[in-house]
């Protein structure tokens, strides 16, 4: 779901502004999940919403996720789907490193090797753009900085979420986060251009909302069952999904990265490094 998300967002951003697009992502997810949880009586821990400490944790995690969404879509607007997904791989790798400090998870020598391969892959993929990043700081470079910051805020959200799922089920936390996001983006949204959306763009917008619901719901559920490090192993595959889709299927309004041998190898290194870092546990 995360692999195809930037492609759908790019299709919507040709008409809607980033803030309005992100509002609909949150709003659609919130409207869909609320009656579902009420009907299925999933809000079993609602009495805990009276806790000031837990409410503050929910609010902080929700706001970090809001920052992540905002920075991600502004970064995506300035770059490409492939670049956005490669840069967002920083998030699960940072989560792995945070797992060592916060969750006391062990980090082996092979995992450190995977981390080195990951960083090398990022440098290789973006090497043709070094002038945009380190010299002129072009729109593309600013977009990458936004995406890197988005990855950092996502790690903060994920760490707090890991603690929250000890008190709530994943559906309860996501219900709160979706409504926090919808309310946060509503004042900055403009609905004047909705009439200009084509039928395909309406479909893409609906898909983005469903994507938000399904992808983050699955992520929260995964954190409830397995180590944070293991979750990252599957997330590592998302850039390949994006890269293959964008490069093989020409789509209007979507500019693909100009791939070279070094950028292709860089993308492969990023994925391999992410998977190694997530899975090669042992003595270290």
Tokens found for residue 48:
């805990």
Residues of the chain where predicted confidence (pLDDT) is lower than 70: 103, 228-229, 232, 252-253, 281-284
DSSP 168-193: S-HHHHHHHHHHHHHHHHGGG---TT
For residue 217, the Cα-to-chain-centroid distance in whole angstroms is: 12
For the chain, which residues make up each domain, given as ranges?
Answer: 5-279
Tokens found for residue 189:
């949204």
Tokens found for residue 59:
């609010």
108 backbone dihedrals φ, ψ, rounded to 5°: -85, 170
CA separation for the pair 111, 128 (Å, rounded): 28
Nearest to 270 by CA among 120, 127, 99: 120
Largest CA distance in the chain: 59
According to the model, what pLDDT value does residue 58 have? 93
According to the model, what pLDDT value does residue 47 have? 84
Q: What angle is formed at CA 192 by the lines to CA 201 and CA 188, rounded to 5 degrees?
A: 95
According to the model, what pLDDT value does residue 166 have? 86
Distances (CA, A) of 58 to 41, 67, 168: 20, 14, 10
Instruction: Tell me if 158 sits within 8 A of 83, measured CB to CB.
Output: no
CA separation for the pair 215, 85 (Å, rounded): 15
Instruction: Tell me if 268 sits within 8 A of 117, measured CB to CB.
Output: no
Radius of gyration, CA atoms only, the chain: 19
């Amino acid at each position: 779901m995360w692999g195809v998300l930037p492609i759908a967002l790019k299709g919507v951003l040709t008409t809607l502004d980033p803030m309005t697009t992100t509002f609909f992502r949150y709003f659609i997810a919130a409207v869909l999940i609320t009656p579902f949880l009420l009907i299925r009586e999933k809000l079993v821990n609602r009495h805990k919403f009276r806790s000031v400490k837990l409410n503050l944790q929910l609010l902080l995690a929700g706001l970090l996720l809001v920052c992540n969404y905002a920075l991600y879509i502004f970064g995506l607007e300035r770059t490409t789907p492939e670049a956005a997904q490669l840069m967002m791989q920083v998030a699960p790798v940072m989560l792995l490193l945070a797992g060592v400090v916060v969750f006391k998870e062990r980090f082996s020598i092979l995992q450190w090797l995977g981390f080195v391969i990951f960083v090398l892959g990022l440098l290789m993929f973006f090497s043709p753009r070094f002038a945009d990043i380190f010299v002129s700081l072009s729109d593309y470079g600013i977009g990458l900085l936004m995406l890197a910051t988005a990855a950092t805020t996502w790690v903060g959200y994920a760490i707090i979420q890991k603690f929250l799922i000890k008190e709530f089920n994943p559906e309860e936390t996501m219900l709160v986060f979706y409504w926090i996001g919808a309310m946060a983006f509503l004042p900055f949204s403009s609905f004047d251009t909705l009439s200009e959306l084509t039928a395909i763009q309406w479909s893409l917008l609906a898909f983005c909302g469903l994507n938000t619901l399904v992808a983050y719901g699955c992520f929260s559920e995964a954190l409830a069952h397995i180590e944070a490090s293991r979750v990252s192993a599957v997330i590592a595959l998302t850039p390949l999904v994006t890269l293959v889709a964008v490069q093989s299927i020409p789509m209007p309004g979507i500019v693909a990265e100009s791939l070279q041998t070094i950028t292709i190898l860089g993308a492969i290194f990023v994925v391999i490094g992410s998977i190694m870092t997530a899975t090669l546990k042992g003595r270290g």
